[in-house]
Amino acid sequence: ASHWSPQLIWRIFTSAMVATFTLALIRAGGHSGDISLAGLLSSGTKISLTETKGGVLDADGSSLVSVMDAPVYVWELMLFVVLGAAGGTLGGLFNASYDLLAPLRPTSRVMRIFEVLFLSLGTSYLLFFLAAFYPRCSDNGSWTCRDADNWGDRCSGSADNTTCVGMRAQCVNATGWKCVGGGNNGLACRGRGGFEDCEWRGGQCEALRQTESVFGMRANCDEGQYDELATLFFGDKSYSIIRMVTQAAPSHDAPFSNQSLLIAAAAYQVLMMATYGAPLAAGFFMPCWLVGAALGRLFGQVVNAHLESDDFVYSGAYALAGAAAMLGGVQRASISLVFFIIEGTSNVHFLLPIVTTLLSANVVSKLFAPESVLDLALRHHALRFLPHKPDWVMELCSVSDVCGGPVRTLRAVESIGNIVDLLRSCHHNGFPVVTMDPLSETPSHTTAPSSTSHTTPAPSFTSRPVDFEG
């Protein structure tokens, strides 16, 4: 396969993005400014913008809206650029901190054990302290209205006396209501009409208590609620990320408050910078995704809070873009991340915002650290690899400046004993293969480097890059 330089790849990628943006801009005029319908054969979003703003609900009260339904407008691209710059800043700071702390890590076994103990205890104390001193409870979606005009609507617990409407209305611990028996058997009981229709057809509304649908960790919150920071710190991270990327399921409220998102993002950022590179089983992919999603969700909610009542942005889309920005700032594998995020989330129509965010993150992150975290790790572990662009000093050097003598060579047909002896006497494993002098049984380059009339050096293929010392 042909080798494409990073410069060529970025030029092609940028050209494709400009073409995509131009096509999306042309088509946006017929779709209320929505540039997410970029393809010539696109069939449109699944639901209308009006339904998206209204928060379409399924029969059990969960949200139908996903990132695939979120419209993207031209004026939002500048917001994605800003979000990408923020994610690139955090990613660049993470890489810079790793570059700074890696040489300072202890090397002795005893000190490495103490480092692990210190980081483990420090992480535990920090997370428990933040969760205990900044409690914030939210509805986990396990309470609904009963005997109410809005039967089946979400409420926040037994003390909620305002959500449920009706003389006998009450908030009970049930994730939903289903009609059992009669003509409406198996259908959801929603609203006064749904309840009365179920009974009129000979059925009865029964409560559903699906434990798997209850989200979050309760901690010190009341029944039917979850503690936001405790959920972000000690709960299942995948569920937290899903909630941040989705709009606001199962209720219309944001799954996490701005304060909780800011604290969680800052805490995980600091812990990532302190622990990455330590002798721990800790990576950076999922923490980067969590920090980026929290940052993007916070950005989207702040934008929503400052928009006019008729305007609306999809906060979950910004959470997805924030995760992409954070990963792009750390890994610098922007093109790979585009395919990973687009294919992994089935959001092809979200291509333009993701590319815009990653380009911004890549440019800004290089201001803090010119290399990706993987390149930094290779360099700090003294692993041999060729950079994409050689250092300027290499242009001033020739082969004679780095090679010693005499040159140790191998013949095209060589005995195993000579090969073993040669490998034992050298610290490298790359040798030029030369032809034999017709008047000598030894390679001409071995003893007489200046005699070159009868030699034709050929490359020696090795299993890994080597440094020639002789």
Q: pLDDT tens digits, the chain, 470 residues: what are they?
A: 456 777 787 788 778 878 877 877 777 665 556 666 555 544 444 444 344 433 433 433 344 444 555 677 778 889 999 999 999 999 999 999 999 999 999 889 999 999 999 999 999 999 999 999 998 888 776 778 888 878 777 777 777 777 788 887 888 877 778 888 887 787 878 776 666 678 778 888 887 765 555 677 888 887 777 889 999 999 888 888 888 887 543 345 678 889 999 999 999 999 999 999 888 887 888 899 999 999 999 998 888 888 765 567 788 889 989 999 999 999 887 778 888 887 777 667 778 888 889 889 989 999 999 888 988 988 888 887 777 777 778 788 887 777 777 788 888 888 899 899 888 888 877 888 887 665 555 544 444 333 333 444 444 433 334 343 43
Q: What is the pTM of this model?
A: 0.70
Q: CA–CA separation, 352 vs 367, rounded Å?
A: 24
CA dist 184 and 186 (Å) reads 6
d(CA 446, CA 405): 9
Measuring CA to CA, how many Å separate 74 from each of 83, 321, 352, 360, 449? 15, 16, 10, 16, 67
Rounded distance, CA 197 to CA 186, Å?
13
pLDDT value of residue 444: 44
Q: What pLDDT score does 436 carry?
A: 66
pLDDT for 45 equals 41
What pLDDT, on the 0 to 100 scale, is given for residue 141? 67
b/e per residue 219-257 (b: at least 16 CB within 10 A) = bebeebbbbbbbbbbebebeebbbbbbbbebbbeebbbb
Compute how many other C-beta atoms are within 10 angstroms of the C-beta atom of residue 97. 19
Predicted pLDDT of residue 117: 94
SS3 letters across the chain? CCCCCHHHHHHHHHHHHHHHHHHHHHHHCCCCCECCCCCCCCCCCCCCHHHHHHCCECCCCCECCCHHHCCCECCHHHHHHHHHHHHHHHHHHHHHHHHHHHHHCCCCHHHHHHHHHHHHHHHHHHHHHHHHHCCCEEECCCEEEECCCCCCCECCCCCCCCCCCCCCCEEEECCEEEEECCCCCCCECCHHHHHHHHHHCCCEEEEECCHHHCCCECCCCCCCEEEHHHHHHHCCHHHHHHHHHCCCCCCCCCCCCHHHHHHHHHHHHHHHHHHCCCCCCCCCHHHHHHHHHHHHHHHHHHHHHHCCCCCCCCHHHHHHHHHHHHHHHHHCCHHHHHHHHHHHHCCHHHHHHHHHHHHHHHHHHCCCCCCCHHHHHHHHCCCCCCCCCCCHHHHHCCHHHHCCCCCCCEECCCCHHHHHHHHHCCCCCCCCEECECCCCCCEHHHHCCCCCCCCCCECCCCCCCCCCCC
Residues in Cβ contact with 191 at an 8 Å cutoff, skipping those fewer than 6 apart: 149, 150, 151, 152
Amino acid in the structure at residue 65:
V
pLDDT of residue 389: 73
d(CA 73, CA 33): 6
Tell me the backbone φ, ψ of residue 57, rounded to 5 degrees: -115, 145
Q: Which residue in this structure is represented by tokens 């380009």?
A: 359
Residue 437: the pLDDT is 61
Whole-number pLDDT of residue 100: 93
At 367 the pLDDT is: 92
